[in-house]
Amino acid sequence: MMFAVAAFAVLVSLALAVARALAGPTVFDRMVAVNSIGNGAILLLAVFGFLTGRPEFLDIGILYALLNIVGTIAVLKYFRFGDLGHRGGEEPS
């Protein structure tokens, strides 16, 4: 019962994050909301794994967390430099 309530709470927080992503005034607000959606999805995977008695979902959640981090860094680098191949060291022109 407690995991079902936790799953409902995560779904509510995901809905609020989606609303924030759609209404965000800047790209960075939307990026934070998308990152929050990814974190909520990881939590939902973990809770679903506990509800169904399948701990394999935790492994999927860890993999998704790593992909979420790499994707966030790539998108922020693209918005900062306009190119993913930028080596760094110098500021964008």
Task: Identify the CA nearest to 84 among candidates 71, 93, 65.
Answer: 71
pLDDT one-digit tens code per residue, 45-87: 999 998 899 988 999 999 999 999 999 888 888 888 888 777 7
Domain residue spans in the chain? Answer: 2-81
CA 4 – CA 10 distance, rounded (Å):
10
90 pLDDT band (50/70/90 cuts)? low
pTM of the full predicted structure? 0.78
